[in-house]
A and B are shown apart, each in its own frame.
Chain A
Amino acid sequence: MIEEKSILSILVDNEPGVLSRIVGLFSGRGYNIESLCVAETIDPHVSRITIATMANLPVVEQIKKQLNKLVNVIKVHELTGTKYIERELALIKVKAKPEHRAEILRIVDIFRCKVVDVGLDHYTIEITGDEDKLSAILNLLKPIGIKEVAKTGIIAVSREPKNY
């Protein structure tokens, strides 16, 4: 069966050890985590965890059920297959030799991102977008020379009026 990417938005009790329960579930049962983001929601007692995972359909179903079984999990919502907005932020430190600087700035301009730090021989670019946009700019910058990349992992919200 084909493995596909699924994005799960999980509301959990904002308590110590809850993240460990979720991560332990994934590692203990051999599920994959592509990326994971966690932060408090507008309700200080609740956190939202966004997990991107690669799995086939029955496994995704099982992951959702196993997550729901955890006492501290309030709600699990699979965004894949629904309407949702997905974003990821990356900080890309790219080599900036004098002969490449104009090219880098052109790319930054095309992608509507920005240079947030400049050194003697590097620029640091901040970019926000979905996975495709981030991998496109990384592909373009690779030949110029990427020194370091830090990515936040995917966060996402549903476009439906209902709250999850």
Chain B
Amino acid sequence: MKYTGAQILMKVLQDEGVDLIFGYPGAAVIDIYDELARTDIRHITVRHEQAAVHAADGYARASGKVGVCLVTSGPGATNTVTGIASAYMDSIPVVVISGQVPTHLIGNDAFQEVDIVGITRPCTKHNYLIKQTEDLARIVREAFYIARSGRPGPVLIDIPKDVAKKTVSYGVQKEVKIRSYNPTYNPHMKQLQKVIHLIKSAERPVIFAGGGVILSKSSRELTEFARKTRIPVTTSLMGLGAFPGTDPLWLGMIGMHGTYRANKSTSGCDLLIAIGTRFDDRVTGKTDAFASQANIVHIDIDPTSIRKNIGVTIPIVGDCKITLNHLNRLVDEADLGDIPKKREKWLRQIEEWKSTQQLAYEQGNVIKPQYVIEKLYELTRGEAIITTEVGQSQMWTAQYYHFDKPDHFITSGGLGCMGFGLPAAIGAQIACPDKLVVDVAGDGSIQMNIQEMATAVEYGLAVKIVILNNGYLGMVRQWQELFYEKRYAYTKIGHMPDFIKLAEAYGAAGLRATKPEEVISVLSEGLSIPKPVMMEFLVDPEECVYPMVPAGAPISEMLLV
């Protein structure tokens, strides 16, 4: 049978299980859109292409499926770059399909032409320019395979207009096989035996889990492993929810805004078992001082993550789930005897750190942002899917919303991308229509993709937005306060829109709390309105996120409240 490129694209997308696309039409993709409208694939028209990618990112994380975007050439394609870079840093499976000018015009500086494959080469897992319709089916299938396998990541496919229009024959497709791409899933068993030996001899062990545990859906295995060996657990920002935030073995988040006990115990441990993490600089602080007395075991599916920033005693390349399953079996076989009991001294020490330096704030006459997050946690019983923007609001959420389950905290961790939370919430809400989805934002970052309010209203997505309004770009202001002698260069937001009127103008609801006693009522009312709601909280303008490790300092050296 003969089909056009656009028709083949639809067939392959449906074969890959795609039932939803976030996109924005344009001249170079009219043919593709024309076919898309004939299928039963749902299309969400966003208001900006960056938001399409963030939404696909949020959708991918909440659903476990590959997120898909469709955008036009030129500006449509360049607008996706920030979203792609964020998905790349956080290893999120997203496929971005961009239109391109017809092949005979490529390189001519044609209208709406841009070399998007060249631009996105360093921020995609892989990308393709399809030059012949005959290659289209194979490439699209490879793109999905690459996006979701191994360490996941975004893949971009650039489709020139004539390639989408041309008619070619299309038949049964072979299984995808790429000779130069074979991720390692199974760990080396000898290495795992060495880990068991280290677990037996360690007196002060710590588990440090990252986003890889969530991506490989192995939080249950991790929890079993930690409880069985009685080893306390910390996670990176991306790992929040991989281990229950209410478990007695939970240390809290590690790193620049990590808890006192997480940073202290990581600095003082004699065995660090790192799982699915890449030792980002916001985690390690000064690398020479990081877990400097410890044997370090590092499990990751991406070999480049291992020994990139931190020296390792036992490197293990493999999938977190498979590796943790093996480790759990080996722990059972090894019969640790009373070894877990020997941890009690270490756990008592951690308990002491916990009781001397807790996360704390004092709720006075002005609303404290931490208080809002705590009340949000209580009112949602920790069950909501939380997305965030970036900065102080993100960190307070990480500290005060005690994530018990994976896939409930959706944040731009690696790229730290303002404007992420609202579109990501839209994606998550579509993936989980029955869940409560809340975007925690600052007054700065909410304005970076605020146009997506229209998308939320149009598609009846009842996302809730909590704006912690402190009138500043708060995290930068905090750095200026602490390290630049309070020279607040351009971080005061001079003019703020009326968020209530703005929400209403979009057709959403808006609520505001100006006093501490209004916080609970605004939250409970806002969370119960069955449409998009903006809840604005006028919070203490100069509240800081503590603890804080100054950039480049050892994580044991924290600025405390």
Please report A residues at the B interface, Cβ cutoff 8 Å: 12-13, 17, 20-21, 24-25, 28, 58, 61-62, 65-66, 68-69, 71-75
Closest approach, in angstroms, between the C-beta of B468 and any C-beta of chain A?
35
Considering the chains assembled together, what is the distance between the CA atoms of A58 and B179 in angstroms? 27
- The answer to whether B121 and A24 have CB atoms under 8 Å apart is yes
Considering the chains assembled together, what is the distance between the CA atoms of A17 and B304 in angstroms? 22
Considering the chains assembled together, what is the distance between the CA atoms of A69 and B122 in angstroms? 12
Considering the chains assembled together, what is the distance between the CA atoms of A55 and B103 in angstroms? 41
Considering the chains assembled together, what is the distance between the CA atoms of A71 and B176 in angstroms? 14
Answer yes or no: B146 CB below 8 A from chain A CBs: yes
Q: Which positions 404-443 of chain B face chain A at CB distance < 8 Å?
A: none
Which residue of the partner chain, among B122, B303, B307, B308, contacts A68 with CB atoms under 8 Å?
B303
- The answer to whether A65 and B180 have CB atoms under 8 Å apart is no
Closest approach, in angstroms, between the C-beta of A12 and any C-beta of chain B?
8
- The answer to whether A74 and B307 have CB atoms under 8 Å apart is no
Given contacts A17-B117, A74-B180, 15 further A-B contacts (CB under 8 A): A17-B121, A24-B121, A24-B122, A58-B307, A65-B303, A65-B304, A65-B306, A66-B304, A68-B303, A71-B125, A71-B126, A71-B146, A71-B178, A71-B181, A75-B180
Q: Which positions 110-169 of chain B face chain A at CB distance < 8 Å?
A: 117-118, 121-122, 125-126, 129, 146
Q: A58-B307, A74-B179 are in contact. Are A69 and B121 (CB under 8 A)?
A: no
Which residue of the partner chain, among B122, B180, B307, B308, contacts A72 with CB atoms under 8 Å?
B180
Considering the chains assembled together, what is the distance between the CA atoms of A126 and B400 in angstroms? 71
In the complex, chain B residues whose CB is within 8 Å of the CB of A28: 122
Write the chain A residue with the least CB distance to B317: A65
In order of increasing CB-CB distance, the 9 nearest A-B pairs are A74-B180, A65-B304, A71-B126, A65-B303, A71-B181, A28-B122, A66-B304, A69-B304, A24-B121
Considering the chains assembled together, what is the distance between the CA atoms of A61 and B306 in angstroms? 10
- The answer to whether B307 and A71 have CB atoms under 8 Å apart is no
Write the chain B residue with the least CB distance to A28: B122
Considering the chains assembled together, what is the distance between the CA atoms of A66 and B307 in angstroms? 12
Considering the chains assembled together, what is the distance between the CA atoms of A28 and B304 in angstroms? 15
Q: A71-B126, A71-B146, A71-B178 are in contact. Are A20 and B307 (CB under 8 A)?
A: no
Contact with A along B295-313 (1 / 0, CB 8 A): 0000000111011100000
Please report B residues at the A interface, Cβ cutoff 8 Å: 117-118, 121-122, 125-126, 129, 146, 178-181, 302-304, 306-308
Q: For B178, B181, B302, which residue has the most chain A Cβ atoms within 10 angstroms? A: B181
Which residue of the partner chain, among A62, A71, A74, contacts B304 with CB atoms under 8 Å?
A62
Considering the chains assembled together, what is the distance between the CA atoms of A120 and B302 in angstroms? 60
Considering the chains assembled together, what is the distance between the CA atoms of A28 and B302 in angstroms? 19
Closest approach, in angstroms, between the C-beta of A105 and any C-beta of chain B?
49
Would you list 16 pairs from A and B whose C-beta atoms are within 8 A, ordered by A residue? A13-B180, A20-B121, A21-B121, A24-B122, A25-B122, A58-B307, A61-B307, A65-B306, A66-B304, A68-B303, A69-B302, A71-B178, A71-B181, A72-B180, A73-B180, A74-B180
Considering the chains assembled together, what is the distance between the CA atoms of A73 and B182 in angstroms? 11
Closest approach, in angstroms, between the C-beta of B11 and any C-beta of chain A?
24
Closest approach, in angstroms, between the C-beta of B349 and any C-beta of chain A?
33
In the complex, chain A residues whose CB is within 8 Å of the CB of B118: 17, 20
Considering the chains assembled together, what is the distance between the CA atoms of A146 and B257 in angstroms? 60
Which residue of the partner chain, among B129, B146, B180, B308, contacts A62 with CB atoms under 8 Å?
B308
Q: For A21, A28, A68, A71, which residue has the most chain B Cβ atoms within 10 angstroms? A: A71
- The answer to whether A71 and B303 have CB atoms under 8 Å apart is no
Closest approach, in angstroms, between the C-beta of A30 and any C-beta of chain B?
13
Q: For A21, A24, A69, which residue has the most chain B Cβ atoms within 10 angstroms? A: A69
In the complex, chain B residues whose CB is within 8 Å of the CB of A69: 302-304
Considering the chains assembled together, what is the distance between the CA atoms of A140 and B537 in angstroms? 78
Write the chain B residue with the least CB distance to A45: B179
In the complex, chain B residues whose CB is within 8 Å of the CB of A12: 180
In the complex, chain B residues whose CB is within 8 Å of the CB of A25: 122
In the complex, chain B residues whose CB is within 8 Å of the CB of A74: 179-180
Considering the chains assembled together, what is the distance between the CA atoms of A69 and B317 in angstroms? 13
Considering the chains assembled together, what is the distance between the CA atoms of A118 and B302 in angstroms? 56
In the complex, chain B residues whose CB is within 8 Å of the CB of A21: 121
In the complex, chain A residues whose CB is within 8 Å of the CB of B121: 17, 20-21, 24
Q: A71-B178, A74-B179 are in contact. Are A62 and B307 (CB under 8 A)?
A: yes
Considering the chains assembled together, what is the distance between the CA atoms of A60 and B262 in angstroms? 33
Considering the chains assembled together, what is the distance between the CA atoms of A74 and B181 in angstroms? 8
Considering the chains assembled together, what is the distance between the CA atoms of A71 and B182 in angstroms? 9
In the complex, chain B residues whose CB is within 8 Å of the CB of A75: 180
Q: For B179, B180, B307, which residue has the most chain A Cβ atoms within 10 angstroms? A: B180
In the complex, chain A residues whose CB is within 8 Å of the CB of B117: 17
Write the chain A residue with the least CB distance to B181: A71
Closest approach, in angstroms, between the C-beta of B226 and any C-beta of chain A?
29
In the complex, chain A residues whose CB is within 8 Å of the CB of B308: 62
Considering the chains assembled together, what is the distance between the CA atoms of A86 and B181 in angstroms? 29
Closest approach, in angstroms, between the C-beta of A78 and any C-beta of chain B?
15
Considering the chains assembled together, what is the distance between the CA atoms of A58 and B308 in angstroms? 8
